Amino acid sequence: MSILIDDRTRLLVQGLGRDGAFHAKLMKEYGTRVVAGVHPGRGGSMYEGFPVFDTAAEAVEKTGADCSVLFVPASAAGDAILEAAHAGIELVVAITEGIPVSEMSRVVAEIETMDVRLVGPNCPGLISPGKAKVGIMPGDIFDRGGVGVVSRSGTLTYEVVRSLSKAGMGQSTAVGMGGDPVGGMKFVDYLELFEEDPDTEAVVLVGEIGGSDEEDASRFVAESMSKPVAGFIVGRTAPPGKRMGHAGAIISGGSGTAEAKVAALEAAGIPVADVIDELPDLLRKRTGG
């Protein structure tokens, strides 16, 4: 199995501009069931064999889409997330970066009252190898297997996967969750799903400086997970007060440091790699493989 997406996922692409159209084609070529697009003013047209609608509500009604991926400009992305949620979409994946914190705070507050999951924003999406990919991840670097990957860093997800695949450790699902200070699902949400997934045998967690998500994840692993987890923390050399890449990757005062996150993971029994290529060996030691 996998988490969140599989070969039954019916995908809606919101925003068929340059980037959306390009990645819609790649997602479909990968094998994802792309059933509809939404682009105001282009309703009634076709793209790559699927119909385009003016609204998410019409797309869901006509095609039964249950997952949406957003390639919508930051100025409209918050409303687009809510449009998908109110249309009945169960999983919204927001690729868009640069959405203001105030706007995401409004969006998150509203979707928390609804039966919808949000991945992102400012993320590369997710992939269940051999089944479906939703977002911008390069599908050819992933192998099907039993290791779940969840990461706040987009491009480092690919480096982690490369190392795992080279060691013969395929992935059940890999998620680039995004690194903005206000967003959707947290580490704990993904870990809970991986724990429940019968085909996920172990998990790699890639964190970074800023916030307390990794510390929360450490407590969850210690208290509620039976599956082995290995970690990697990005930004160990980042100076306090300077944002590193993601908007959420900033050390404020004495909180959010790499040292604190490594300490929390190790205290929960989670081995932390100093370099990415150590992760396969750490997992082998944890699984006895």
Which is the catalytic residue, given 23, 39, 86, 246?
Answer: 246
* Range list of H helices, the chain: 18-30, 56-63, 74-86, 101-111, 154-166, 187-196, 213-224, 258-267, 279-287
Three-class secondary structure of residue 130 per DSSP:
coil
The size of the chain, in residues, is 289
Per-residue DSSP letters for 91-108? EEEE------HHHHHHHH
Q: Provide the token pair at 73.
A: 């400009």
Distances (CA, A) of 12 to 45, 74, 200, 256: 15, 18, 26, 36
Backbone angles phi, psi at 64, to 5 degrees: 75, 25
| Residue labelled with tokens 């019916």 | 10
Amino acid at 267: A
> Is residue 246 among the annotated active site residues?
yes
Helix (H, G, I), strand (E, B) or coil at 2: coil
In 3D, which of 277, 213, 280 has the Cα closest to residue 246? 213
- Nearest CA among 26, 118, 58, 123 for reference residue 37: 58
Cβ neighbours, 10 Å, residue 253: 8
Q: Which residues are catalytic?
A: 246
